[in-house]
Amino acid sequence: MVSLLARLFIKEQNDAKDPAVRQAYGILCGAVGIFLNLCLFAGKFLAGTVSNSIAITADAFNNLSDAGSSIITLIGFKMAGQKPDPSHPFGHGRIEYVSGLLVSVVILLMGVELLKSSVSKILHPEELAFSPIALGILLCSILVKCYMFLYNRKLGKRLDSSAMLATATDSLSDTMATTVVLIATVTGHFTGLAIDGWCGVLVGLFICYAGYGAARDTVSPLLGQAPEKEFVRQINDIVMSYSDILGIHDLIVHNYGPGRVLISLHTEVPADGELLALHDTIDTIEHDLRDTLHCHAVIHMDPVCVGDEQTMRLKALVAGYIKEIGDAVSMHDFRIVTGPTHTNLIFDVAVPYDFHLSDRELTEMLTARIQRDNPNYYAVIDVDKQMA
């Protein structure tokens, strides 16, 4: 159904990186989610009333909360698609994450309320009325939620949308919860065991877990999470495909919402290269990154000596020292300044955030190692943290 509606109402539906296409998919999926969840709420509420089941009624209100969540998601995608303005020069894309966070809060609140109702049912059990209609409604609900899980997961992966992936996870947990309710209803009828309240607790726990997962997935990009390794690899492949570029480092990715990414990076270029030609190469790379990855790029040039024999010899020497420390450490921007009494070896080292040595310990270790071979060599070291 969603695929058919997409073909009818979304132009350029295969361009997943286009913010307008993302917005259209978000609105479409939100509208479909609202409709389906309201239908499920009405059916389950009727089934819960007929069978006097707190578990079925709890599951019904879970679907009602899902409908509210779909409304928030729809509004979030609509607002996130607004164009940049003077107050928000990088657009409003992070509203999608905010809406996802609001959805997770609604899910958590509903889960807590259902846990309270279920505990009350355990303490004060009531006899259930068996109804074939209720069973049929629950079976239909399981099938509908499976469908919602599949299309939200498919589109969430295609659009790289944490909100849609969270909705998919929520639909999967709803499927499991409704299955538990179905088992409780059938078990209660054929065995007389009063497990309705206990199953309601399980439903509430499923809902709380889904809310926690949704909150985790939306808070992380709001706080500024590390970029995906595949995205970093694509950037590296594009930049290094140009013959004038000798190396890349200090990559920083700023995420202002899906489809609104700003990156900055340093590229090493030959120090004896022609300045205007190198500048033209950098401009071309920035346009290439924008057109291919739909991101705005700012690139800084770092000139490095490639033909000086002494520089290359000392660079290889220092690289060997760094390799002794560990493969996780790398070096860039190496240059030397020779004076009458000593030579400065100036370079940066990049280390992981969880590296076992502090920046000071690493600097002192490298300095001592360099001066052990030649006391007239002085190291000037800057320590960077690896982005990914």
Read off the CATH number of the domain in which 285 is found: 3.30.70.1350
Q: What is the pLDDT of residues 210-226, one digit of tens each?
A: 778 778 877 877 777 77
| Between 199 and 346, the higher pLDDT residue | 346
Amino acid residing at 144: V
Nearest to 46 by CA among 120, 110, 137, 125: 137
Residues 212 and 250 occupy one common structural domain: no
Position 67 scores a pLDDT of 82
Residues 365 and 280 occupy one common structural domain: no
Q: What percent of the chain clears pLDDT 90, i.e. is strictly above it?
A: 15
Give dist(CA 318, CA 293) in Å, integer.
36
Q: What is the pLDDT of residues 48-67, one digit of tens each?
A: 887 777 767 777 887 887 78
Q: Describe the strand order of the beta sheet including 295-304 as a list of residue ranges.
A: 247-255, 261-270, 295-304
Residues 35 and 170 occupy one common structural domain: yes
Residues 87 and 198 occupy one common structural domain: yes
Residues 205 and 72 occupy one common structural domain: yes
How many domains, the chain? 3
End position of a domain, from candidates 177, 199, 223:
223
pLDDT band at 134 (very low <50, low <70, confident <90, very high): confident
Residues 168 and 121 occupy one common structural domain: yes
Average pLDDT over every residue of 151-158? 81
Position 280 scores a pLDDT of 94
Range with lowest mean pLDDT among 38-52, 121-135, 168-182: 121-135
77, pLDDT greater than 80:
no
Residues 296 and 333 occupy one common structural domain: no
74, pLDDT greater than 70:
yes
List the CATH number of the domain containing 183: 1.20.1510.10
End position of a domain, from candidates 247, 273, 304:
304
| Between 149 and 127, the higher pLDDT residue | 149
Integer angstrom CA distances of residue 80 from 9, 38, 92, 103: 19, 25, 5, 15
Residues 168 and 194 occupy one common structural domain: yes
Residues with Cβ within 8 Å of residue 345, at least 6 apart in sequence: 314, 318, 334, 336, 370, 377, 378, 379, 380
388, pLDDT greater than 60:
no
Residue-range definition of the domain harbouring residue 318: 309-385
CB atoms under 10 Å from CB of 233, counted, come to 11
Residues 347 and 380 occupy one common structural domain: yes
Residues 8 and 110 occupy one common structural domain: yes
pLDDT band at 2 (very low <50, low <70, confident <90, very high): low
Sign of CA dihedral 353, 355, 359, 363: negative
79, pLDDT greater than 80:
no
pLDDT band at 180 (very low <50, low <70, confident <90, very high): confident
Q: What is the pTM of this model?
A: 0.60
Q: What percent of the chain clears pLDDT 70, i.e. is strictly above it?
A: 91
Range with lowest mean pLDDT among 6-20, 100-114, 244-258, 290-304: 6-20
Average pLDDT over every residue of 321-335? 88
Give dist(CA 327, CA 300) in Å, integer.
26
130, pLDDT greater than 70:
no
Position 4 scores a pLDDT of 65
Give dist(CA 144, CA 53) in Å, integer.
21
CB atoms under 10 Å from CB of 185, counted, come to 26
End position of a domain, from candidates 206, 223, 240:
223
Residues 80 and 140 occupy one common structural domain: yes
| Between 159 and 296, the higher pLDDT residue | 296
Position 241 scores a pLDDT of 94
Residues 267 and 351 occupy one common structural domain: no
